[in-house]
Amino acid sequence: MKFGTKAIHAGVEPDPTTGAIMTPIYQTSTYVQTTPGGHKGYEYSRTHNPTRTALQNNLAALENGKHGLCFSSGLGAIDAIIKLLNPGDEVISTNDLYGGSYRIFTKVFERYGIKFHFVSMDNPENIAAHINANTKLIWAETPTNPMMNIIDIQAVGDLAKKHGILFGVDNTFATPFLQNPLDMGADLVMHSVTKYLGGHSDVVMGAIVVNDDKLAEQLAFIQNACGATPGPQDCFLVLRGIKTLHIRMERHCQNGKTIAAYLKNHPKVEKVYWPGFEDHPNHHIAKKQMRDFGGMISFTLIGNKIEDAITILENLHYFALAESLGGVESLCGHPASMTHASIPKEEREKVGLVDSLIRLSVGIEDVDDLKKDIAAALELI
């Protein structure tokens, strides 16, 4: 199946009882057994639920993977991945990443003896310099959040394989429509399903897709033992959202390209971060590993005044000021005080995350309305 067909059909079958074409919401906590241990594959919904099973199979297919596992949030999925490690193990992470990932790494898992190195991954040689006998995981986002840096998945995958290190990729910004990290050497792919996969800002969920059977077994144990699993209603909503992922992403990409070009030529904008520009660092890598460049954009303002950024954010209308991204509606945010506030200011600024940086999640509205919205807000500074 090609992607659009997978999005609609993979892992999903008509209900055998009624013929319902949509996967039912199995709103049940437990399942009747004919004898102790004698059940139909389901015994308790924290462990397995038919609605969740359909979604997990669908996500695995979209990422060209073998096993999918869903969690109650993206951070719940990351939590499960780090729980594969032991005290004394070390992780090499990109230095430009979602603030929640930084927070769980430094404020939760460092307390249990796991060490994290935050390095620029624009060049894989920066990673190699930090590898030692204790390195057990390389963690990357590409494009990164919020600076839109591009990491060469194939090159990092080759490096990880050479040293016998697990390699995980947060694929939230790209989605499986734009890139498939497992095909390029990643061992784990993680999604904040809350974002583009759900696509309608009505679900919080995370997911992991892997190929390795043993790794899947370990993660499934953690999923069940620690209990960060989503309910069937949320799984149903994501299954519904995924059916339009391919057409939504096409529009996100089209609108993103138009808005990025508009901002780049605006006299009050200092810099635009979007991997589709030929002068974007590692644009050639993005062109190689992505099918298009996405609808996420960050930009800074001339003068780098936080008050100017706030004025713009307070006066956008179609771009709603809110946490999150990837919905059909456009969203705007101020990473320094919102999504990345948990990262110390000096660390943020090292990667270019300055106070005037604004992050846009370009939705699928009419792009002319979005341009007018931005133009009117910029006029106020």
Residue of 31, 42, 46, 318 marked catalytic = 46
Active site residue 46: yes
Q: Which residue has the higher pLDDT, 24 or 350?
A: 24
pLDDT (tens digit, 9 = 90+) per residue, 187-196? Answer: 999 999 999 9
Question: 């990025």: which residue's tokens?
Answer: 260
69, 319, 373: which is closest to 219 by C-alpha?
Answer: 69
Whether the pLDDT of residue 339 is over 90: the answer is no
Residue of 79, 96, 152, 170 marked catalytic = 170
Partners of residue 208 on adjacent β-strands:
69, 190
DSSP type of residue 108: I
Tokens of 225: 């033992």
Residue 242, classed as helix, strand or coil, is helix
260, 258, 255, 288: which is closest to 274 by C-alpha?
Answer: 260
Active site residue 170: yes
CATH top class, domain 245-379: alpha beta
Query: What average pLDDT score do residues 155-164 get?
Result: 98
Please report, as a single letter, which amino acid is at residue 45: S
The answer to whether the CB of 99 falls within 8 A of the CB of 342 is yes
Whether the pLDDT of residue 341 is over 90: the answer is no
The answer to whether the CB of 206 falls within 8 A of the CB of 219 is no
Active site residue 195: yes
Residue 262, classed as helix, strand or coil, is helix
DSSP type of residue 24: P
13, 54, 51, 14: which is closest to 29 by C-alpha?
Answer: 51
pLDDT of 215: 98
Tokens of 345: 């200011």
295, 289, 264: which is closest to 277 by C-alpha?
Answer: 264
pLDDT of 70: 99
DSSP type of residue 44: B
What is the side-by-side strand order in the sheet with 358-361?
269-273, 296-301, 358-361, 331-333, 320-321
The answer to whether the CB of 50 falls within 8 A of the CB of 188 is no
The answer to whether the CB of 319 falls within 8 A of the CB of 332 is yes
Phi first, then psi, for residue 174 (nearest 5°) are -85, -40
Pairing of strands 331-333, 320-321: parallel
The answer to whether the CB of 228 falls within 8 A of the CB of 73 is yes
Enumerate residues 6+ apart whose C-beta is below 8 A from 376. 315
Residue of 98, 102, 196, 273 marked catalytic = 98
Residue of 52, 136, 195, 243 marked catalytic = 195
| Residue 351: C-alpha distances to residues 139, 149, 279, 318, 358 (Å) | 17, 10, 18, 29, 14
Angle subtended by helix axes 367-378 and 306-315, to nearest 10: 140
- pLDDT-derived band at 238 (thresholds 50, 70, 90) equals very high
Percent of the chain at pLDDT above 90?
Answer: 96
The residue ranges of every structural domain in the chain are: 3-240, 245-379
Task: For the chain, give the number of residues.
Answer: 381
Q: What share of the chain is helix, strand, coil (3-state, %, to 5)?
A: 40, 15, 45
pLDDT (tens digit, 9 = 90+) per residue, 250-302? Answer: 999 999 999 999 999 999 999 999 999 999 999 999 999 999 999 999 999 99
pTM flag (> 0.85): yes
Tokens of 197: 């996969």
Enumerate residues 6+ apart whose C-beta is below 8 A from 45. 26, 28, 29, 30, 52, 229, 232
pLDDT (tens digit, 9 = 90+) per residue, 84-129? Answer: 999 999 999 999 999 999 999 999 999 999 999 999 999 999 999 9
Residue 58 backbone zone (phi > 0: left; psi -120 to 50: alpha; other: beta) = alpha
Question: Is the Cα torsion angle 191, 194, 198, 204 positive or negative in sign?
Answer: positive
Type and span of the H or E element at 71: strand 67-71
- pLDDT-derived band at 342 (thresholds 50, 70, 90) equals confident
137, 199, 136, 149: which is closest to 328 by C-alpha?
Answer: 199
pLDDT of 283: 98
- pLDDT-derived band at 217 (thresholds 50, 70, 90) equals very high
Task: Calculate the average pLDDT of the chain.
Answer: 97
Whether the pLDDT of residue 223 is over 90: the answer is yes
pLDDT of 265: 97
- pLDDT-derived band at 41 (thresholds 50, 70, 90) equals very high
CATH topology of domain 3-240: Aspartate Aminotransferase; domain 2 (3.40.640)
Cα angle value 331/144/84 (rounded, 5°):
115
